Amino acid sequence: MATTRNLLRWILDSIADRGLSFRGNLSYAPIKKLCQDLVSEPGEASGTAIAREIADRYTALGNGDRLKFFESLLEPNWLADPEQVLRSATEYSSQPTAAHLSKLFRLAEPRRQELFRRINMGPRGTETIVNMRRDLLALLPENPALEPINADLIHLLSSWFNRGFLEMRRIDWRTPAIVLEKLIHYEAVHEIHGWPDLRRRLQDDRRCFAFFHPALPEEPLIFVQVALTRGLPTAIQPLLDITAEPADLASVDTAAFYSISNCLDGLRNISFGAFLLKQVIHELETEELKLKNFVTLSPIPGFRAWLAREHPGVAAANASGITPAQRSTLLHWCVRYLTATLPSGRAADPVTHFHLSNGASIERINWRADNSPKGIQRAFGLMVNYAYKPARIERNHEQYVKQGRFAMSDGVAAFLREPDAARKPA
C-alpha cells in the first residue's frame, strides 16, 4: 500500500514536472499570482503543475512571508461579491426556499476554499494544507484577523478527515520504523524515552492503536496506549517502567488507557479521540482476553492551580507535601474540582469533560499515582480512573450532555459528601 502510494506520489511529481516544463515561467511568478492562476484555470491541464509549485513555494517560505501569504488571502479577490450576496440573501429572506438558500450558499463561499481544494489535487497536497493550518495556528494569536482562513481550513479538513475516511490500525513491533518514530515524537502525555522505552510499550501486555488517513499513510493522526493489567492501575510509574516484566495475559482483566495523543498540529480541534476510544474498546473485546474493565489512568491537569485560586488556604496547607492524614481532605477537594463546571455547564477540567461526554464515569481517584515533579506540581500526584462501561456509555453521555449530570462511582461520590474532611483544612 505504502509502495503504491509512494509510486503515485512520484508519478504526480513527474506529471507536475512535465507541466512545469511547459510553463517555465511558473518558477518566477510570485506565489500570490500562482494562487490566482490556479483558481482561474477553467480546465485542469496545468492545474497539477501549479498546485505543486505552490506547495513547493509555500514550504520554502519563511515565517514572515507566510504571514504575508495568509494576509493576501484576506484580500477582496478571495471573497465574494457583496452585492450579489446581499441580493441573494434578500431573496432568501423574502422567500426562504431551499433553492434560494442553495444559491446564496454558493455565492457566499469564500474563493479561498476552491484554492485549497485545488492545492489538494497536487502532489503532497493534503500534507501542504495540513501544514498551512499548523502555521496559521501559530500566527493566529498575534494575528487574529487571519481567523477567517482558519474557518475555511476547519471547514475543509473536518470534511476530509471525516471519521468515515479514517482507518484504525494496530501499532506494534511489526509496524514500520518510520511510523514508530512518530509515536516517540508525538507522545504528549508521558514522554517516550527512545526505542527501548517504545519497545516496552509495545510488548505483549500492551496495545496501541492509531487512526490514519489514506492521503497521509505514514502519519498517525491520534494514538492511544493501552496497558493490560490485573485490576485497575493505581499509579502511572509502574506502567512506564521500562524494566517491568510483561503481565501474564491469562490473568489480566483490565484495559487501561494511559495515554492518548494527537499528532498533527494542523488538525487541532478536529477531534477523533472519542471514535478512537470506542473502536479500541470494541477491538479489544474481539481478542481472546477476559477483560472486565475499560478504564483510563488520567492526569488532572488543573487541580492544583484551581485549588490555589479557589481555595488558597487548602492549597497552602498542602504545599509542602501531603501527609497520609491529609489524604481524604485532598481527595474531597479533588472531586469537587472534577465536578466543577463552567458557566456552560460542562466540566471545568478538560480531561473530565472529554471522558464524561464520551459516556465514561469518574471511577476512582488514585493517591500517589504520579510521583513525577510534573504530577506533584499539577495535582499533588493524584490521577483519575475514568471507566467506560459499555452498558452505561449511552446513558452517561445523555445525562451529562443534556442534564449536566456527572456519572461517578459510589466511592468517588462518597468523597464529595465528606463534610468533616472538607471543613478541616479550611
Specify the amino acid at residue 43. Answer: G
Q: What is the residue-wise DSSP string for 107-148?
A: HHS-HHHHHHHHHHHSTTHHHHHHHHHHHHHHHTTT-GGGHH
The label of the residue with cell 503543475 reads 49
User: Smaller CB distance to a copy of itself: residue 1 or 426?
Assistant: 1
User: Smaller CB distance to a copy of itself: residue 177 or 426?
Assistant: 177
- Angle at alpha carbon of residue 177, lines to 176 and 180, rounded to 5°: 95
Is residue 267 within 8 A of residue 296, CB to CB? The reply is: no
User: Smaller CB distance to a copy of itself: residue 42 or 419?
Assistant: 42
User: Smaller CB distance to a copy of itself: residue 358 or 366?
Assistant: 358
User: Smaller CB distance to a copy of itself: residue 27 or 372?
Assistant: 27
Distance in Å, CB of 335 to a copy of itself, minimum = 23
Distance in Å, CB of 232 to a copy of itself, minimum = 23
Is residue 382 within 8 A of residue 426, CB to CB? The reply is: no
Specify the amino acid at residue 180. Answer: L
Torsions phi, psi of 87, nearest 5?
A: -60, -45
SS3 at position 361: strand
Distance in Å, CB of 250 to a copy of itself, minimum = 15
CA atoms 24, 25, 28, 34: torsion sign: negative
Is residue 281 within 8 A of residue 294, CB to CB? The reply is: yes
Distance in Å, CB of 360 to a copy of itself, minimum = 10
User: Smaller CB distance to a copy of itself: residue 84 or 377?
Assistant: 84
Distance in Å, CB of 135 to a copy of itself, minimum = 17
User: Smaller CB distance to a copy of itself: residue 211 or 333?
Assistant: 211
Distance in Å, CB of 95 to a copy of itself, minimum = 9
Tally of CB atoms within 10 A around 339: 18
Count of all residues that appear for the chain in the document: 426
Cβ within 8 Å of residue 333, ≥6 positions away? 307, 311, 314, 422, 425
User: What DSSP character marks residue 366?
Assistant: E
Distance in Å, CB of 226 to a copy of itself, minimum = 16
